[in-house]
Structure 1
Amino acid sequence: MINLIEGEIPEINVSKPYALVAITKHGVANARAYAERFPYVDVYYMKKFEYGDEEQKNIQLFDGTVRLLLPALFKQYKAMILIISLGAVVRMIAPILEDKKTDPAVLVVDDKGQFVISVLSGHIGGANALTHEFAQAIHAAPIITTASDVQKTIPVDLFGARFGWIWDSEEKLTPVSASVVNEEHVAIVQETGERDWWMHDTVMPDTLKIYETTAAAIAAQPHATLLITDRLIEQHEQVLLENGVIYRPKSLVLGMGCNRGTSAEEIEACIDATLAELKLSKKSVKAFATIDLKKDEQGFIDVTAKNHWQFVTYSPQELNEMPLSNPSETVFKYTGAYGVSEPAALRYSNANSWVLEKKKSGNVTISVARLAFEEA
C-alpha cells in the first residue's frame, strides 16, 4: 500500500507502460474492468475502495490525496489515464509540466466511461493514438481537439491493444514505429486474432502490405514486420524480427479437467509442457474452461488468477451438446458429461475442431482449441 505524504515522492511498482488511476467508487469498478480489456495498464486506486484481491491482481492501493501520487506516475509512465474530472486533472498536473517533448501523455476518462479525452502530449507523447485505442477497448467516444491530428496509420506500440493483444518484446517498437511513420515498406502477417483492426475511415496506406504467410513476407524483404500469431516462431522466420514485432492475440482456450485436490503447480506444469509441445505462446491464452463441478477447484482458481485468464465453467448438459469423437461412459458416470476438457474447449472457442483434442498428464487432462474469429 502506498502512503502519500506531502513533500515525499512515493515508491511505485511499474510493470506496464501506462498508469490507470481512479478515485471514486464507480471509477474504481470501471478501472478494474478496463484493466481486463486493455492489457498495458498498472492500476492504482484509493485504499478505501479495496476489494481484497488487489495483491493477486497487481493493483496498487494508495492512502492520501491523489495529487501526491501523480508526480511519481508522471516521471515513470509513458501515459497516465485518469478517471478524474478534467478540471481537477488540469489543476493537479499544471505544477509538474516540463516540456512537450518529454512530458508523458495524459488522458481523462469520465466516471461513467462514456468519453476518453486526450489532454496532454497528443502527438509527441502519443496521447491521441492512445485515446483512440483505449476508447475502442472500453467502448467509449474518443475526444481529440488537436487540429493537426491527420496521420492515420498503425500505432505500433498499441496495435491490437483494444482486443487485448500484447507484444512479445518491446525491443523493436521504436524502429518499427519509425518505419511505419516514415512510410517504408511494412509487412503485416496475421495468422489469428481479430481482423477488424484498421480503425480509420480512410484506406490503409500502400506502404502497409498484408501477406498471407511469413514465407511471402520474407520473400518481399520489407523494412519492418508486424506479425500477429499465437505460435512460437521458427528459426528461419527470425529474419522478420530483425526489425519486427510479434503480437500475441488472445486466441487460445484451454479445456481442463483434473482429479480433486490437484496442485496448481502440477496443473500449470502440464499447461506449460503442452503449449511448448504444440509450439504455442502462453501469452495467447484467453480462457480456461471446465465443468461447473470444478468451479471451486483451488488449483484451477489459483492458476487462472495468477495468469489473469478467464475461468469459465459449463454444466454437464452444455458440455454434452458438443460433438465428441470419443465420449466416455466412465466420465459420464461421475460427472454427467461424456467429456470435460474437450467439450469445454470446443464450446468456449466456438471452433469446429481442436488444436489438441485431449492429453492426460498425471492428474490433469488438457485440451486446446483456437477461437474462431470472424473475417473483417
Structure 2
Amino acid sequence: MNHIAVYAVTPKGVTLARQLVSTFGGTAFVPARLYDADCDVDEVSFESLRECVAESFSEFSAHVFITAAGIAVRTIAPHLAGKDVDPAVVVMDQNGQHVISLLSGHLGGANELAGAIANIVGGVAVITTATDTEQLPSLDMVAAQAECSIHNIGAVKHVNGALLAGEKVVLDDPADVLGLKHGDHAEHFIAAELVPFSEEDVPTVIVSWRSAELLEPEEKTLLVHPKVLCVGVGAKRGAPKDAVLGLITDVFHKKDMALESIACLASVDAKADEAGIIEAAETLGVPFVTFAASLLDTVDVPNPSDAPKQAVGTKSVAEAAALHGASLKHGARLVVEKEKGDGATVAVALEI
C-alpha cells in the first residue's frame, strides 16, 4: 500500500499539495487544468475528485484533502468500512492555517499526521478525539503501540468512555504488556486481582494469548492479544501451505490459543526456502525466521530425535526453533510440545 495521497482543487492548494508530497512523499492529485507534467513530485490529474478518490482510497494509508471539510466528508463517505481498517484522513485549508484530523485519528495515525503537517506549514493541528483532549490513554492506540492485536474493537468505546467519565477500568495484564500498571496513567486502572467477583459487565481490559473462545469477553471487555507466541515449524520438502497452516490452526484451536498472538514462525536454515512455510507466514501476517542447525542443536527440548539430526543437523526443529525464537528478547517456555500433521510438525513457545 502507498503512503500519502494529497488532493487539492485550487491553484494555491495545488502548490501546498506539492510541498507536502515533497516533504512526506506520496502522490499529489490535482485537477487536470492545474496539472504540471514537469513538477518535481509524483502528480496525477483528475477530472472528478469523487471518481479519483473512489479509485485511490484503498490504495493509500493516508489521505490529505486541501479542501473544505464538507467536500472531504462527502467524498470519502461511500468508502468507509470501520475504525480498525479505515485509512487516516486529514483535511486542511489552502493557507495551511488549520490541519484537522478527520478520520482514523488513533489507529490510522491521522492525529499524528495532522501534527506533522501543521509543524511543516506553520498551522494548528485540530485534534478532536476526546481521550487526547483530556490527556487520557486511548486503548486502541495503547494496544497498537505495544504491537498487540485487538480482538473486539467495538469494546474500545466502553473502556475509553469509562476513562472519560472518571471511572477506573479493570486491567488484567499480569506482564504489564500495555505499560498501564505504572506511570502517568496507572491511577485510571485497577488490577483485576484486586476486584471482587461480580456478575456485572464492567469496563475491563484483558491482555492474553488465550483465545476469545476460551475467555468469552463480554460487551464491555476489551480483549487484547500480545505477540508473544513463536511457532516452530518442521516440514517435509514440498509440504504445501495448507498442510502447515492447517496444522497450526488446529493446534491453536485445540489448545485455546489466539492466532493473533503469533509473533513469528521459526525453523532451521535448511527450510528457509520452504514455500509452504513461507506462504503460511504470509497468510498469518507474521515473519518467518530461521536459525542455524548447530544453534538449534544446543537447545534443550523435551522430545529430541535422531531423524532431524540426520536430515538437517539438529536433534529438534520445531521445539528448538520455537524456544529459541521466543527467547530472543526474554526467556521462553514451551507451551505446546511438537505435534505432527500431514508432512508438517509444529511446537509453540511463549515469551516470558
TM-score band (shorter)? 0.5 to 0.7
Quick one: distance in 2 between partners of 1:318 and 1:154? Answer: 42
Q: State the alpha-carbon separation in 2 of the partners of residues 305 and 154 from structure 1.
A: 32
| Cα distance change of structure 1 residues 151 and 220 upon mapping to structure 2, 3 Å threshold | farther
CA distance in 2, matches of 1:284, 1:45: 38
* Residue 96 of structure 1: aligned partner: 71
Deviation of residue 202 (structure 1)? 2.9
1:370 has 2:347 as partner: no
Which residue of the partner structure matches residue 138 of structure 2?
Answer: 155
Q: Does 1:309 align with 2:291?
A: no
Q: CA deviation at 1:130?
A: 6.3
Return the offset for 1:178: 1.7
The alpha-carbon deviation at position 249 of structure 1 amounts to: 1.5
Residue of structure 2 aligned with 1:210, choices 191, 207, 212: 191
Matched, 1:81 2:62: yes
Three-state SS of the structure 2 residue aligned to 1:158 is helix
Structure 1 contact 193–251 (Cα < 8 Å) conserved:
no
Which residues of 2 match residues 1-376 of structure 1 at below 5 A?
Answer: 27=25, 64-65=44-45, 71-72=53-54, 81=62, 89=64, 91=66, 96-97=71-72, 106=89, 119-121=99-101, 127=105, 131=109, 145=125, 150-191=133-174, 194-196=177-179, 202-206=184-188, 208-212=189-193, 216=195, 218-219=197-198, 223-233=202-212, 238=216, 241-350=218-327, 351-372=331-352
Structure of greater Rg: 2
Q: Cα RMSD over matched residues? A: 4.7
TM-score for both structures, normalised by structure 1: 0.63
Aligned twin of 1:54: none
Query: Closer, same or farther in 2 for the Cα pair 1:126/1:302, shift >3 Å?
Result: closer
Structure 1 residue runs of 4+, over 6 Å off? 66-70, 73-77, 132-135
CA contact 1:290–1:313 (8 Å) conserved in 2: yes
The verdict on how the C-alpha distance between 1:173 and 1:194 changes in structure 2, with shifts beyond 3 A counting, is closer
One-letter identity of the residue aligned with 2:158? P
Classify the secondary structure of the residue corresponding to 2:233.
strand
User: Does the Cα contact within 8 Å between 1:160 and 1:197 map onto a contact in 2?
Assistant: no
Percentage of pairs with the same residue: 20
The aligned residue for residue 15 of structure 2 is none
The one-letter code of the counterpart of 2:100 is: L
**Cα distance per residue 1:292-326 (max 9 Å; x no partner):** 11111111111111111110011112212322233
Give the alignment's TM-score, normalised by structure 2. 0.67
* CA distance 1:270–1:191, change in 2 (3 Å): farther
Query: Does the 8 Å contact 1:153/1:204 carry over to 2?
Result: no
CA separation in 2, counterparts of 1:68 and 1:325?
Answer: 61
Unaligned runs of 5+ in 2: 8-19, 30-41, 81-86, 92-97
Q: Residues 128 and 365 (structure 1 numbering): CA distance in 2 closer, same or farther, change over 3 Å? A: closer
1:335–1:170 Cα change, 3 Å? same
SS in structure 2 of the partner of residue 276 of structure 1:
helix
Which structure ranks higher in relative contact order (CA pairs < 8 Å, sequence separation ≥ 6)?
1
Structure-2 separation of matches of 1:70 and 1:220: 51
